Amino acid sequence: MPAAVEIIVDVTGVGHGGFGIARHDGRVVFVRHALPGERVRAHVTEGTEDSRYWRADAVEILTPSADRVEPPCPYAGPGKCGGCDWQHASLPAQRRLKADVIAEQLWRLAGIEWDVEVEPVPDEHDGLGWRTRMTYAVDEEDRAGLRRHRSHDVVPIDECAIAHPGIRSLQIEQRPWPGMESVQAAVSGTGERLVIAEPGQRDVDVPELPADVSVAMTDEHGKIRTVEGHAELTETAWGRTWQVSAGGFWQVHPGAADLLGEAVAQAVRPRPGERALDLYSGAGLFAAVLADGVGHDGSVVAIEGDRRAAADARNNLADLEQVTFRTGPVDRVLGKEDELGADVVVLDPPRAGAKLNVVHEIARRHPRAIAYVACDPAALGRDLATFATAGYRLSGLRAFDLFPMTHHVECVATIVPADEPAT
């Protein structure tokens, strides 16, 4: 990398990952902390003279955008915490930037032209205090903090602005964590609080926490080893109570579960008596949504590869006789069980997407409607291109700003047979 290189560039667009796009001497430069329309002085952080592109931080704003605001957190900025990408943009601007990214990924990866709108979570006001799950890294001085962007360096902080008040009340950052590699903190929708400590290579000492806080310790493989207090958190969504094991997945925004459940229900509109598949079913949220629609005369098969999440789903939905469960990788279960039919399908794959085998296994069952819940628009674009080769097309898309201040965004895509008339 050129030592201490600083360049002046005009930022013309937005890229997938939370940065602006500029050019310098014909080379693409990905500039963090900048907005489209700005001229900035940027410090090059990655790249050499032979690189096709450079990465850089905007260290001086020469011509600011009308969308620029003062970041609400003192740890947002060049060389500081890497958790938030867009604190320097107003919330409406953040949503426009995310919409632009989604539209660009759909066009570039799937050839789909789509007018995208990113919706706020109802009652969202300032984009702060929403994150109900946090993972802190611990530095060599036993201080909890967050990592710099694209770095293992730990930035000690006093408080995270996007952390939920229940997380902040734990004061993770103010306590020493001797011998710890990382500390996870979670608060449930019912107010339960949980801390999960991951030991490092030396003796550990968990600091004293409030009596109502459950504490778990992991082993060297990241699995929960011991728990003091409750081994799960209680959540509420879709008119039901959910038990989620310590370290298990649940949406990090308090409003996300109900919002996504509603969007999925609208996408596939399950009918009484239908057969439904819930793929990557987690704790069972979308299986419950589908069960409500297909009723007692229908059926829902929930497939999940993580045994802990699959056990949670069985417990959470034990009262729904129309729901059955399979535990194992989704592609393998679908490949082995040809008898699993599907009128409607919901899938919520990991960030990498569903990929070829799962898409083909879905398509060969000829569902009339598919709801694809996507946390990465690039993975969604790639899988939509695969669905197109299998005779399916995108018919609807909703996008939600479930992760304000960051570049992350959640989509719910409705996919139907290509020969179905447009409505």
Residue positions annotated with a catalytic role: 375
CA–CA distance, 217 with 143 (Å, rounded to integer): 18
- The full DSSP string for 92-148 is HHHHHHHHHHHHHHHHHHH-------EEEPTT--SS-S-B-EEEEEE-TTS-EEEEB
DSSP conformation class of 89: B
Q: What is d(CA 392, CA 293) in angstroms, rounded to the nearest whole number?
A: 23
Q: One-letter amino acid identity for 78?
A: P
CB atoms within 10 A of CB 39: 17
Contacts of 8 (CB under 8 A, 6+ apart): 39, 40, 41, 42, 62
First-residue to last-residue Cα distance in the chain: 53
Angle, helix 91-110 to helix 377-389, in steps of 10 degrees: 30
Main-chain dihedrals φ then ψ at residue 8, nearest 5 degrees: -110, 125
